[in-house]
Amino acid sequence: MNHFPGTWGRPRDDVYGPYDSSYLQTTGPKTHTQSPAVTGTSVIAVKFKGGVAIAADNLASYGSLARFTDVKRLRKFGDAAVIGFSGDVSDMQYIDRLLESIDIRENYSAHGNQLNAKNLHTYLSKVLYKRRSDFNPLWNHILVAGFDSEKKPFLSSADLLGTTFSAPHLATGFGAHLAIPILRRLFPEERSIEEISKEEAVSALKDCLKVLWYRDARSMDKYSLALITQDGIEVHEDQQIEAQNWAFAESIKGYGAQTV
């Protein structure tokens, strides 16, 4: 160690050659807001008869490091909605502060006019789109679960570009690849939401979380699950993925130090 902090933690010049200091950028535009740092992985959600179920694990990764293991990525908005965040955790906290201030403002003069999940989703998608248009995106992919103005279950997503998408079941991040096929098999298009019970939706989400825990290296077996029904919102935090069976791992070949 020497007395030049600028060289601390960097490869030694005598071993690796001169460091490319153009990355240091003493001048020039700020770029650290244009990529995520601490991230949460998938959020998955399913509509069922009379409500919506949504789940996400409790992990916030720093790159590939499992850095924070008790991060709640499902946020309640009053009694109206649950918002699930994947992507950058600090941006999630910023959006959470926005939502908090809206909630306070709305409750000053409620008069029976509460924002519903659909209103929130519209608002959040505009915020995300505004920030991407400033070249300073909020690095999140969010799912909003709740009810619309006609008291029908509502589920929709918005990503860091402000793109919105809605479907009876949704997943962000790795879940879009691993959970959606499972959910599509369990709840095919021709099956109406009216036929899906709450228990069925919850067990489907648990199955998906387990598959994600098996196969997504940025996931964890501790998770939160929220149920939004007309009776209110139940959030179950610190849940554990049960009945794990890693036997399948024996048959996986082709990665790492395996020689056979």
Task: Pick the closer one to another protein by CB: 113 or 251.
Answer: 113
CB of 111 to another protein, least distance (A): 5
* Residue the block writes with tokens 């699950």: 225
Lookup: tokens for 5: 């902090």
C-alpha span between 138 and 34 (Å, rounded): 8
Q: Provide the 3-class DSSP secondary structure of residue 73.
A: coil
* Shortest Å distance, C-beta 138 to another protein: 16
Judged by CB under 8 A, the number of residues near another protein is 14
- Rounded to 5°, angle at Cα 207 from 237 and 87: 55
Complex with another protein: residue 118 or 206, whichever CB lies closer: 118
Judged by CB under 8 A, the residue of 112, 188, 232, 254 near another protein is 112
**Residue 149 binding another protein, by CB under 8 A:** yes
H or E element: which one contains 92?
Answer: helix 89-108
CA 134 to chain centre: 23
Residue 115 sits in the site that holds another protein (CB under 8 A) = yes
Place of tokens 């860091």: 160
- Please identify which residue in 32, 111, 185, 253 interacts with another protein, judged by CB under 8 A: 111
Interface characters, 67-106, with another protein (x: CB under 8 A): ----------------------------------------
CA distance 155 to 45: 8
Binding site for another protein (CB under 8 A): 109, 111-116, 118-120, 122-123, 126, 149
